[in-house]
């Protein structure tokens, strides 16, 4: 059901947009949700969703890592992301007057990562260190041990960070192929809350996301668990 406050629409490209209008604020929070996570990864791609989430912040074809970091921070906004067992999310917060910029930056980040081979090798070391730190932190490690028991043999038990073996084997071509298959409009949902004009929002989303291929939808199955992080550059 639609109202003046809540709306949902599926664009011709297959992209779904959900919005909640909050008239008494002067800001917006917008997220691009990608329907792919640890549960969709076969063993050779274990940890790929999380790895790709890190890699997009290394730079796009239009912005380097520094420019991405400043894109919204320079106007008082914020840009971040997290990976879960079933989803990956890229989110931005900004004043309502900077909504167009937020949509454009998110589209650039999600759709046009540069995926430089040198950055791939550097990030592998970062993720391997993260795995080591995670395994050496009991109150974090216990969640994986719990999942091993509860979801034994089920994809929901897959490790969000992946394994040392899988991460070490990633190549630039592997990451780019995963992005091309999974980051299509059939797997994307954009959710927004705050003060914004609905028609203008749809115009901006159509402008920046309209030519995105549909991609391959992952196979549905199960419950959800999230693993959050702060953006790393």
- pLDDT tens profile 56-102: 999 999 999 999 999 999 999 999 999 999 999 999 999 999 999 99
Q: Count CB-CB contacts under 10 A for residue 154.
A: 12
Sign (positive/negative) of CA torsion 227, 112, 233, 181? Answer: positive
- 164-206 pLDDT, tens per residue? 999 999 999 999 999 999 999 989 999 999 999 999 999 999 9
Domain residue spans in the chain? 7-210
CA-wise closest residue to 134 among 172, 83, 89, 171: 83
Mean pLDDT in the chain? 90
Q: Phi first, then psi: what are they for 64, rounded to 5°?
A: -85, 180
- 214 has pLDDT over 90: no
Considering the domain delimited by 7-210, tell me its CATH architecture: 2-Layer Sandwich (3.30)
Q: Can you say how many angstroms the Cα of residue 201 is from the centroid of all Cα atoms in its chain?
A: 20
CA distance 209 to 28: 19
Cβ–Cβ < 8 Å for 203, 194: no
Helix, strand, coil percentages, rounded to 5, for the chain: 45, 20, 35
Q: Is 53 a catalytic residue?
A: yes
- 119-158 pLDDT, tens per residue? 999 999 999 999 999 889 888 889 888 888 998 888 988 9
- The catalytic position among 2, 20, 41, 53 is 53
Q: Phi first, then psi: what are they for 219, rounded to 5°?
A: -75, 130
Rg (CA), the chain: 18
């Amino acid at each position: 059901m639609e109202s003046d406050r809540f709306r949902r629409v599926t664009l011709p490209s297959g992209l779904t947009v959900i919005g909640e209008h909050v008239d008494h604020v002067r800001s917006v929070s917008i997220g691009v949700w990608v329907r792919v996570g640890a549960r969709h990864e076969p063993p050779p791609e274990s940890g790929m969703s999380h790895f790709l989430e890190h890699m997009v912040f290394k730079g796009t074809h239009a912005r380097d890592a520094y420019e991405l970091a400043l894109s919204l921070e320079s106007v008082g906004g914020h840009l971040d992301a997290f990976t879960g067992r079933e989803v990956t999310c890229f989110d931005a917060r900004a004043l309502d007057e900077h909504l167009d910029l937020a949509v454009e930056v998110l589209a650039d980040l999600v759709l046009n990562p540069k995926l430089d081979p040198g950055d791939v090798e550097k990030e592998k070391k970062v993720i391997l260190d993260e795995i080591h730190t995670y395994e050496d932190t009991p109150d974090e490690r216990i969640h994986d041990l719990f999942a091993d028991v509860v979801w034994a043999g089920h994809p929901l038990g897959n490790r969000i960070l992946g394994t040392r073996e899988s991460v070490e084997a990633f190549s630039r071509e592997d990451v780019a192929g995963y992005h091309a298959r999974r980051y299509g409009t059939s797997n994307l949902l954009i959710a927004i809350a705050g003060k914004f004009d609905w028609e203008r929002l749809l115009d901006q989303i159509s402008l920046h996301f309209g030519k995105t291929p549909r991609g391959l939808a992952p196979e549905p199955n199960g419950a959800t668990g999230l693993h959050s992080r702060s953006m790393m550059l």
